Amino acid sequence: MGLLDRFRKEDAADTDSAAGAADAPAEAPSTGESDEPAKRGLFARLRSGLQKTSDLLRTDVRDLLKKEGDIVDDAFLTRLYAILVKTDMGNAAATAIRDEVLARHRARKVHMEEILATIRDKFRELLAQAPGGDAESPLELAPSAPTVVVVVGVNGSGKTTSIAKLTNLFVKQGKKVVLGAGDTFRAAAVEQLTIWADRLDCEIVKAEQGSDPASVAHRAVAVACETGADICIVDTAGRLQTQSNLMDQLTKIRRVMSKQVAEAPHEVLLVLDATAGQNAISQARGFSDAANCTGIILAKLDGTAKGGVIIPIRQQFDLPVKYVGLGETADDLDVFNVDRFLDALFD
């Protein structure tokens, strides 16, 4: 499938998604009265989302070893490398983990739990984030409201739904949110975001299809300032004709925002589709370069994805993974935490 065909397919999928959302019953956001059960529920969904990768690791590593254990030699390491690559972690991460197994267990007889423990330790090292990346409130909030957040990503990555989930998270915290429907090149994106704004009872700023996205961003920030909103979240185009067009548009959006709120945008979040595997990295690299992103939302980690893709995403973009999307509802967004991720994957 060519690149243009892929984009056409993603545009059609987004249109169908928006149409389906219009027919679906509105879901009331959680009240936040009972945080502990909600956290347990999110962990269960995270575990379910990583089930495919967890099963692959445990089953294939178990099959790799004899019941009485096996010697770590070249043949063993070659087979282990092949297993690791199947999780979508990529060649570099698979090589690093294979080399760690070699360094720890060279010429020794090992059992499954020893190998899994070594893989887990190396996962933690590869996923290590700067302080704040694992915090329960990972976004950089402005000293005085509003905090302005720009969200970028290719069409079909789950960008609009991720904005809805992020909005729901803020609403549950008692914050007032204004949305800016800046993906003016796709009517379906504006329609879908409008549906979510109605559901979550927050104001949305939008314009006619094909309007200047920067004008939407400008008005959204202005409305946030005028109404005393705590947060302003602005969607952006999922596709422009050239990289220079994309960079020019994002630069313009930054400029009009900063005229109203110093240092805006305070966060630029890149949405990546976990089900796209290694393709997610190549699709989104241009956005990362053009937008000066501050963090990543890894969307669609719902059981169809291979969780190993989070490693090359973390390494190649050198950005903290701030949130993971775990399903289709507004509540299915969790702060990314390395230890919780590893617990869900290996325990």
Structure confidence by residue, pLDDT tens digits, 26-44: 344 444 444 554 555 655 7
Cβ pair 221, 261 in contact under 8 A: yes
Strands (E), the chain: 70-71, 109-110, 147-152, 177-180, 203-205, 231-235, 267-273, 295-299, 321-325, 333-335
174-193 exposure pattern, b = at least 16 Cβ within 10 A, e = fewer: ebbbbbbbbbbbbebbbbbb
Asked if 147 contacts 232 with a C-beta cutoff of 8 angstroms, the reply is yes
Q: Within its chain, how far is the Cα of 102 from the centroid?
A: 32
Q: How far apart are CA 288 and CA 271, in angstroms?
A: 10
Confidence of residue 151 (pLDDT cuts 50, 70, 90): very high
pLDDT (tens digit per residue) in 118-141:
999 998 998 887 654 444 568 888
What pLDDT is stored for residue 170 in this prediction?
95
Q: Which residue type sits at 200?
A: L
Token code pair at residue 34: 């009972």
Average pLDDT of the residues in 156-163:
91
Alpha carbon distance 286, 307 (integer Å): 22
Q: 38-66: per-residue pLDDT in tens?
A: 555 655 766 666 766 676 676 777 777 76
Cβ atoms of residues 324 and 47 within 8 Å: no
Distance of CA 24 to the CA centre of its chain: 24
Sign of CA dihedral 271, 273, 276, 278: positive
pLDDT given at position 240: 58
User: What is the model's pLDDT at position 301?
Assistant: 80
First to last CA, the chain: 38
Contact 296, 324 (CB under 8 A): no
* Proportion of the chain above pLDDT 90, given as a percent: 40
Say which residue, 68 or 79, is predicted with more confidence.
79
